[in-house]
C-alpha cells in the first residue's frame, strides 16, 4: 500500500492552481525526505564508525601462544676486526592469527627481524640485502652515526641489491630498533612487518645487577596492532575519522597473537618497543602493580622511576623491571592513553582503547633476582647555558612542519657539528603527533610548560606532543658532519610522516661549503630554490 497521499487517486483534484502546486509539493517533500535520509544516514554512519572505533580485547584472550623471542643475530668478524651483520629483506607468509596465512614482509624470515646486538666501541658493518620487489631503506632508529649510514630516504636499496653502511658504536647501552624509511611508503613497509630490535651494551650498564639474560629474564616486547581481512591478509583500510592513521583491532607482541610467557625468575626486564604505525599505548599491569622504569629511548635513567603506567607513542622504547610471585599469572595491559584530545577525537585516535598484551606465567619456584639498584647511570645532561641557537618548529595539520611538506631536495635546517641547540617544537594542529630526530639522543628541557616528567627525564629520540603542546629539546649534534647528506626530523606517526610531516637537517663543520641534495636526485632547481634554502641561516629559524 502506498503512503504517498499526494498521488492517491482517491483524492480528486479541485482546481488548476491546486494541480500546479502538487508537483512542487511533491518535489519539496521528496527533497526533504532525501535530505532527512542523508542526514540520518550520515549520522548512522558516524555512529557506526564511532561504535566500531572503541576497541578492546580485555578479558577476551586465552593466552594460547607462547611468546616468540626474536633470535639474536650472530655477527661474523671481518679482517679489520669489524662485526658484520647480514640482513635480508624478504616477502613471505606468516600465521599471525590462528589458522590464517598472512602475506607479510620480514628480515631473515617472513615477519619482523632478528635482534641485532653490539657494544659501545664496536665497529660494525650491516649488509642489508633487499629481496623485495620494490625499493626500501633500513633506518637505525636512535643510533648516533654518519648521515650516509642513517638509512633515511636518501639511502634507498633497490630490489636485488645490498646496502652496506658501517660505523663505530659510540653511545650508552640502549634499546634501539631498525625499520624501513622509504620516501612516502614507511607506514606500509613497517605495517607489512619490517622491523627489529638493535640492542646496545656498555660496560657500566653491564656491571649493574639488572636482569640481562636475553629471552630468559630480559625480554623483548615489540607491540604492534593489526587489522586482518576475512582471508587473514593485512587490512590496509582505516576509519575516515582517524586523525592519526591506521589503527588495528588485533594486537601482536613480537609477531605473536594472544601470547603468554613462562618466567623463571623473580624479576623480569621487559624491553618495550612501540613498533605500531600510529597507535599510542599506556602500558601497565591488569592488577595495577608497580614496576620500575629503568630506561627510555637512549638508555638508562639516572634512577629507576617506580610507576604503574608507561605511555609509549610510535617509535618510543622503555625498559621496565617487574617483580613476580611464584605460581602467579600477571597480565601486561595497555590502558587508554591520554592524548590530550576531545571526546570525539579521542575515540577515533585509539585513546578509548584497551588491550591485554601478554600473560606472564610465573613458575612454582623462581630464581631470586637482586633488587633494582637506586642509581643506574651518571648522565651529563645537556645544559641550557651551552645552547648556541634556538630553532622553532611548528607541526601543522597532519602533513607539514613550519607549513612545508617534506621535500627531498630542500634542506630545512643546517646545524654546526658538536654544538648544542634548543629546539622548540609546538603542535599547532588539533591532531596528536610525536617528534623524532635522527642521529642524536636529546634531553627534554621542558614539557608542556613544566619540567619533564620522570619518564622523559633521560635520553630520548622521540617524544609525544599533544595538540597545542610545546616541548623544548636540548640537542647536541654529532661530531659526524656531511655537507651533502641530511638527517631527518619528523612525526613518527607514520602516515603523517609519509604525508610530509618531515624535514631535513645538515650537520656541517663551521664554514663548510654546502651542496644541495637535489644534485643527487636530479631535482629541478626552478621548483626548489635551494640556493636560498641551503644557506645555513634559514629564514625559518628564529633566535632565542
**C-beta closer to Cu ion: residue 267 or 433:** 433
Burial level of 25, CB count in 10 A (0-12/13-18/19+)? exposed
Taking the complex as a whole, the smallest distance from the CB of residue 311 to Cu ion amounts, in Å, to 16
CB burial string 327-355: b at 16+ within 10 A, e below: eeebbbbbbbbebbbeeebbbbbbbbbbb
* CB of 430 or CB of 510, closer to Cu ion: 430
261 is a site residue for Cu ion (CB under 5 A) = no
Q: How far apart are CA 480 and CA 273, in angstroms?
A: 27
Long-range contacts of 153-156 (CB under 8 A, 24+ apart): 153/181, 153/182, 153/183, 153/408, 153/488, 154/408, 154/485, 154/486, 154/517, 154/520, 156/182, 156/183
Nearer to Cu ion, 422 or 501 (CB): 501
H helices of 54-123, in order, are none
The site that binds Cu ion (CB under 5 A) totals a number of residues, namely 4
| Integer Cα distance of 195 and 129 in angstroms | 14
* Other CB atoms within 10 Å distance of the CB of residue 295: 27
* Residue 234 C-beta: closest distance to Cu ion, Å: 22
463 makes contact with Cu ion (CB under 5 A): no
Question: What is the spatial distance between Cα 84 and Cα 341, in angstroms, rounded to a whole number?
Answer: 46
Kindly state whether residue 491 participates in binding Cu ion, applying the rule CB under 5 A: yes
The three cell numbers of residue 358 are: 601478554
State the minimum distance, in angstroms, from the CB of residue 493 to Cu ion. 4
Kindly tell me which of 167 and 423 has the beta carbon lying closer to Cu ion. 423
Shortest distance in whole angstroms from residue 245 CB to Cu ion: 8
- Residue 341 binds Cu ion, judged by CB under 5 A: no
Whole-angstrom distance, CA of residue 436 vs CA of residue 176: 13
Four-CA torsion 224, 460, 135, 280, nearest 10 degrees: 30
CB of 465 to Cu ion, least distance (A): 8
Pick 271 or 279: Cβ nearer Cu ion: 279
Is 493 among the residues that bind Cu ion (CB under 5 A)?
Answer: yes
Choice between 315 and 486, CB closer to Cu ion:
315
Shortest approach of Cu ion to residue 497 CB, angstroms? 7
Question: Which range touches Cu ion (CB under 5 A), out of 165-173, 338-346, 450-458, 496-504?
Answer: 496-504
Which residue, 106 or 467, is less far from Cu ion as judged by CB? Answer: 467
The distance of closest approach from Cβ of residue 278 to Cu ion in the complex, given in angstroms and rounded to an integer, is 9
Site for Cu ion in 17-56 (CB under 5 A): none
383: how many CB neighbours lie within 10 A of its CB?
Answer: 12
Ranges within 402-441 binding Cu ion (CB under 5 A): 433
Residues 258, 496, 507, 541: which binds Cu ion (CB under 5 A)?
Answer: 496
Chain residues in the site for Cu ion (CB under 5 A): 433, 491, 493, 496
Amino acid at each position: 500500500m502506498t503512503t504517498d497521499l499526494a498521488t492517491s487517486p482517491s483524492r480528486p483534484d479541485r482546481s488548476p492552481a491546486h494541480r500546479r502546486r502538487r508537483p512542487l509539493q511533491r518535489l519539496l517533500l521528496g527533497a526533504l525526505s532525501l535530505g532527512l535520509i542523508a542526514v540520518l544516514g550520515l549520522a548512522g554512519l558516524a555512529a557506526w564508525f564511532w561504535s566500531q572505533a572503541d576497541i578492546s580485547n580485555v578479558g577476551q584472550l586465552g593466552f594460547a601462544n607462547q611468546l616468540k623471542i626474536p633470535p639474536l643475530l650472530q655477527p661474523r668478524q671481518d679482517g679489520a676486526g669489524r662485526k658484520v651483520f647480514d640482513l635480508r629483506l624478504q616477502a613471505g607468509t606468516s600465521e599471525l592469527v590462528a589458522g590464517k596465512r598472512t602475506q607479510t614482509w620480514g628480515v631473515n624470515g617472513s615477519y619482523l627481524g632478528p635482534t641485532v646486538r653490539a657494544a659501545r666501541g664496536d665497529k660494525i658493518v650491516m649488509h642489508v640485502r633487499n629481496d623485495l620487489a620494490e625499493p626500501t631503506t633500513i633506518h637505525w632508529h636512535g643510533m648516533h652515526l654518519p648521515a650516509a649510514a642513517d638509512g633515511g630516504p636518501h639511502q634507498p636499496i633497490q630490489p636485488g641489491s645490498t646496502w652496506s653502511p658501517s660505523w663505530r658504536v659510540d653511545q650508552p647501552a640502549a634499546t634501539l630498533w631498525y625499520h624501513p624509511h622509504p620516501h612516502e611508503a614507511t607506514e606500509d613497509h613497517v605495517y607489512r612487518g619490517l622491523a627489529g630490535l638493535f640492542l646496545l651494551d656498555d660496560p657500566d650498564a653491564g656491571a649493574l645487577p639488572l636482569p640481562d639474560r636475553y629471552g630468559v629474564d630480559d625480554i623483548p616486547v615489540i607491540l604492534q596492532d593489526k587489522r586482518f581481512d576475512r582471508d587473514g591478509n593485512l587490512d590496509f583500510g582505516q576509519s575516515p575519522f582517524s586523525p592519526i592513521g591506521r589503527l588495528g583491532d588485533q594486537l601482536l607482541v613480537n609477531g605473536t597473537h594472544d601470547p603468554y610467557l613462562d618466567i623463571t625468575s623473580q624479576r623480569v626486564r621487559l624491553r618495550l618497543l612501540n613498533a605500531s604505525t600510529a597507535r599510542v599505548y599506556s602500558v601497565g599491569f591488569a592488577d595495577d602493580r608497580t614496576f620500575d622504569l629503568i630506561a627510555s629511548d637512549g638508555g638508562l635513567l639516572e634512577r629507576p622511576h617506580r610507576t604503574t603506567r608507561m605511555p609509549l607513542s610510535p617509535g618510543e622504547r622503555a625498559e621496565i623491571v617487574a617483580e613476580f610471585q611464584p605460581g602467579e599469572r600477571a597480565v601486561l595491559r595497555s590502558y587508554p592513553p591520554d592524548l590530550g584530545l576531545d571526546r570525539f577525537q579521542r575515540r577515533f585516535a585509539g585513546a578509548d582503547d584497551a588491550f591485554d598484551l601478554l600473560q606472564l606465567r610465573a613458575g612454582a619456584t623462581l630464581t631470586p633476582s637482586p633488587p633494582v639498584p637506586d642509581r643506574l647511570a651518571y648522565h651529563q645532561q645537556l645544559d641550557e647555558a651551552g645552547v648556541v641557537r634556538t630553532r622553532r618548529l611548528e607541526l601543522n595539520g597532519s602533513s607539514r612542519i613550519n607549513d612545508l611538506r617534506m621535500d627531498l631536495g630542500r634542506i630545512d635546517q643546517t646545524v654546526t657539528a658538536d654544538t648544542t641547540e634548543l629546539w622548540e617544537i609546538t603542535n599547532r594542529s588539533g591532531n596528536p603527533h610525536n617528534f623524532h630526530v635522527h642521529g642524536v639522543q636529546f634531553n627534554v628541557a621542558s614539557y608542556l610548560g613544566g619540567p619533564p616528567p620522570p619518564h622523559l627525564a633521560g635520553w630520548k629520540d622521540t617524544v609525544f606532543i599533544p595538540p597545542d603542546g610545546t616541548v623544548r629539546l636540548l640537542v647536541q649534534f654529532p661530531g659526524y658532519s656531511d655537507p651533502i647528506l641530511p638527517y631527518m626530523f619528523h612525526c613518527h606517526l607514520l602516515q603523517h610522516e609519509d604525508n610530509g610531516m618531515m624535514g631535513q637537517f645538515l650537520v656541517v663543520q663551521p664554514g663548510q661549503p654546502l651542496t644541495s641534495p637535489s644534485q643527487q636526485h636530479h631535482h629541478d632547481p626552478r621548483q626548489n630554490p635551494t640556493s636560498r634554502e641551503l644557506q645555513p641561516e634559514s629564514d625559518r629559524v628564529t633566535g632565542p
